[in-house]
């Protein structure tokens, strides 16, 4: 694990991560091993290239966006804090332990935060709304080449229109959440092994 700085510092940070992300120690150590595996150059952080090197990821139409979500604000490298992103995908716990305490921030893997994460994938310019253009871009990514631009435009308009309740021409986060009310987002965005 890199060179040894102060041991206690590390421990403290580890606890910080554990508390923040909610991972168990075993999981965290597994993730750390994964981090080290991905970090082929052994320089302690991952670049975009390291993530692009994951073979299976290349077949994903959303690869670029997913990878970019690990590097917010255009950074080029990320260290082990990448678990912060992964924490979003922990399965939901059954009881909501922070329900009684409005001051405490919701855990990273709460339904709301999961939805937020997904919302970010659409909202590239970070203005809090998914415009029709952004919707179109997403559609273009995940639909095959046989669909024409015109068709996609129509579909994008329709999509925005369906979700847009206040007529703003774009989908805000709340509208996004509401349109996915019936879907079991918690289940869809949970990865079993991260429990």
78: three-class secondary structure by DSSP: strand
Using CA atoms, how far apart are residues 60 and 69, in angstroms rounded to an integer?
A: 14
Please identify, using beta-carbon distances, which residue of 93 and 127 lies nearer to other proteins.
127
**Cβ distance to other proteins smaller for residue 92 or 124:** 124
- For other proteins, the closer of residues 2 and 93 by Cβ is 2
92 in contact with other proteins (CB under 8 A): no
Residue from 22, 89, 91, 92 touching other proteins (CB under 8 A): that is 89
79 lies in the binding site for other proteins (CB under 8 A): yes
Site for other proteins in 21-50 (CB under 8 A): 26, 30-31, 33-34, 37-38, 40-45, 47-49
Interface with other proteins (CB under 8 A), residue from 7, 99, 101, 149: 149
3-state secondary structure of 195: coil
From candidates 92, 111, 133, 137, binder to other proteins by CB under 8 A:
137
Cα distances from 143 to residues 12, 61, 68, 135, 149, in angstroms, run: 46, 9, 20, 12, 11
Question: Shortest CA distance to 139 belongs to which of 126, 124, 156, 154?
Answer: 156
Of residues 11, 93, 96, 125, which one binds other proteins by CB under 8 A?
125
- CA-nearest of 122, 118, 125 to 186 is 118
Report yes or no: 161 and 185 within 8 Å, Cβ to Cβ.
no
Size of interface with other proteins, in residues (CB under 8 A): 111
Sites for other proteins among residues 162-181 (CB under 8 A) = 162-163, 167, 173, 179-180
Q: Residue holding tokens 């490298």? A: 77
Residue 139 in contact with other proteins, rule: CB under 8 A: yes
């Amino acid at each position: 694990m890199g060179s040894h700085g102060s041991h206690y510092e590390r421990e403290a940070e580890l606890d910080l991560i554990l508390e923040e992300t909610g991972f168990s120690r075993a999981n965290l150590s597994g993730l750390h091993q994964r981090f080290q595996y991905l970090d082929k150059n052994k320089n302690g952080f991952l670049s975009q290239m390291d993530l692009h090197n994951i073979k299976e990821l290349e077949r994903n139409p959303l690869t670029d966006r997913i990878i970019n979500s690990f590097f917010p604000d255009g950074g080029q490298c990320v260290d082990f804090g990448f678990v912060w992103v992964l924490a979003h995908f922990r399965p939901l716990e059954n009881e909501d332990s922070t329900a009684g305490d409005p001051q405490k921030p919701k855990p990273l893997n709460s339904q709301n935060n999961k939805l937020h994460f997904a919302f970010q994938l659409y909202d590239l310019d970070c203005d809090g709304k998914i415009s029709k253009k952004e919707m179109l871009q997403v559609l273009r990514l995940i639909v095959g080449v046989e669909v024409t631009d015109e068709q996609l435009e129509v579909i994008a308009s329709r999509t925005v229109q369906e979700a847009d309740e206040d007529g703003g021409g774009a989908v805000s986060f709340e509208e996004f959440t509401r349109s996915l009310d019936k879907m079991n987002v918690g289940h869809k965005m949970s990865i079993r092994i991260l429990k």
